Each structure stands twice: as C-alpha cells, then as structure tokens.
C-alpha cells in the first residue's frame, strides 16, 4: 500500500501566509519562506502554495516568492493561483515547482487540463476543487470561493480524471477553517468514483480528524493549514499517531 501523505498548505496574500474560516476573515499566519523551511525539516511529505488572490486580482502567481521557497525545501512542491496557460506552468516549473494546481481556469476552459497533461504529464497536474454543500448538493465555486456555479462536485471530478489530471485537491468550503473534521462522506464518494489520488482539505482540527480522513474518507493525502501554522498539531507527533492507527505513513 502506498504511504499516505501529510501536506501543509501556504495560502498566500500580499506576500504573507494567511488563514481564514469558510474562505473569509483572513488573518496573518507568518512568513511563507520560514514556514516552508520549517515544514520540510519537520517531515511534511509535500508542500502546497496557493496564491489565493491571483485569480481575483487577474494576475499571475508571485513567481519570486515561489523561487525563494523552492530554494529552501527538498520535498515535492505544488503551486497554484492564476494559472491559465502552458506558459504559466513552464514559468512555475522553472521557478522550482514540481506540480501545479489549477482551479477556476480549468472550470472556465476544461480543455486546459488536457493541454497541460499532454505537455507536462498527468503527474504534474493537480486540479483543485472548492465546493460547498448547499441543500444536499455539492456545488463547485470559483475565484477563491467567491463565485458559485451549478456544477456538481462529483460530475466535475469524473471529468477532471477523464481529461488527464493526476490528482484532485478537494476543499470543502463548509469545513474550511472550522477544525470540525474533513468532509469524509463526500471524500469517500469521490474516492469511489475516481481512480486518481485525492487530497482532502478543509476542517482539520485534531489528530483524529486526519485518521478519519484516511480511514473513512479513503483519501491519499490530507492537507491542512491553521493547525500547523499556529502550532495546534506537530507533524512528527501526528505521523507517529497515524502509524499507531495502522495508517501507512513516512516518518
């Protein structure tokens, strides 16, 4: 069985790491370069960098910051925010990213997934989905969760896989920042309908929430931000507890 992955996430705005609740009320969480260095040293399996304002501000990802972070870490590094072309991906890979995450641009032009997968390989392409459960339906949202759509989460996930994405990063907007646990029911359903790795995001508050994501949500990786940024959960301790629960993880 493949090892499960623990992934800290750096949500970036104005060059700083930020974190909110349900995608709003953002507060400062520290210097992204220092946080990235610390997470690599603590044993994080990967790192995700999301320039959360890039799409809203109609600009590209902050490449100089990506470059600085890449110089200080030795773990796989995924970068997202404002990516809409093969040229954007080329630039980020040259800055040190190992993978890229696309979200709004993929929904607006789904063939972008095909183009990127064909040029760079599916292992390089992560499609992020921000979705909110509304009256029992999981609906995809764009532009940092600010624009609702009528697109169903599960239908979109299947299309993403068919178009050549290598991974899905699903964030539950209902759970984001609440520390109430991941959206395990939706995650489990996702894991049943697609055959590519799923990264769970939104809701981590305790070590048991991570265990539940792997055992109940059946995900391949769990991503979190505030519990790591503010010291609620220590990554080495988390990994040791997961091993006690018979979850395969790299120490």
CB atoms within 10 A of CB 68: 15
Provide CB contacts within 8 A for 30, sequence distance 6+. 16, 17, 229
Residue 145 zone, left/alpha/beta (φ > 0; ψ -120 to 50; rest): left
Considering the candidates 51, 130, 176, 212, report the single residue annotated as catalytic. 130
Considering the candidates 11, 51, 88, 212, report the single residue annotated as catalytic. 11
31 is catalytic: no
DSSP 168-210: EEEEETTTTTT-S---HHHHHHHHHH--S-EEEES---SHHHH
130 is catalytic: yes
| E strand or H helix at 13 | strand 5-13
In 81-228, the DSSP E strands lie at: 99-102, 125-134, 137-142, 147-152, 167-172, 198-201, 221-224
Provide CB contacts within 8 A for 105, sequence distance 6+. 55, 83, 84, 112
CB atoms within 10 A of CB 2: 7
Q: Which of the residues are catalytic?
A: 11, 130
């Amino acid at each position: 069985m493949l090892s499960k992955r623990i992934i800290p996430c750096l949500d970036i705005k104005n060059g700083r790491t930020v974190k909110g609740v349900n995608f709003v009320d953002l507060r400062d969480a520290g210097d992204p370069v220092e946080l990235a260095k610390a997470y690599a040293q603590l044993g994080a399996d990967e790192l995700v960098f999301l320039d959360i304002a890039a799409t809203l501000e109609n600009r590209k990802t902050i490449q100089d910051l990506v470059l600085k972070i890449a110089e200080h870490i030795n773990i796989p590094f995924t970068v997202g925010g404002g990516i809409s072309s093969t040229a954007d991906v080329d630039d980020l890979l040259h800055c040190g990213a190992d993978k890229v995450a696309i979200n709004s641009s993929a929904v607006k032009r789904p063939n972008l997934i095909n183009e990127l997968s064909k040029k760079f390989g599916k292992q390089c392409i992560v499609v992020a989905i921000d979705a909110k459960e509304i009256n029992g339906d999981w609906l995809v949202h764009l532009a940092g969760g600010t624009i609702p759509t009528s697109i169903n989460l599960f239908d979109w996930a299947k299309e993403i896989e068919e178009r050549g994405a290598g991974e899905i990063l699903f964030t539950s907007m209902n759970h984001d920042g609440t520390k109430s646990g991941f959206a395990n029911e939706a995650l489990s359903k996702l894991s049943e309908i697609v055959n590519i790795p799923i990264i769970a995001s939104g809701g981590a508050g305790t070590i048991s929430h991570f265990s539940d994501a792997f055992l109940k949500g059946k995900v391949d990786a769990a991503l979190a931000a505030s519990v790591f940024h503010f010291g609620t959960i220590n990554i080495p301790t988390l990994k040791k507890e997961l091993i006690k629960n018979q979850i395969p993880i790299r120490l």
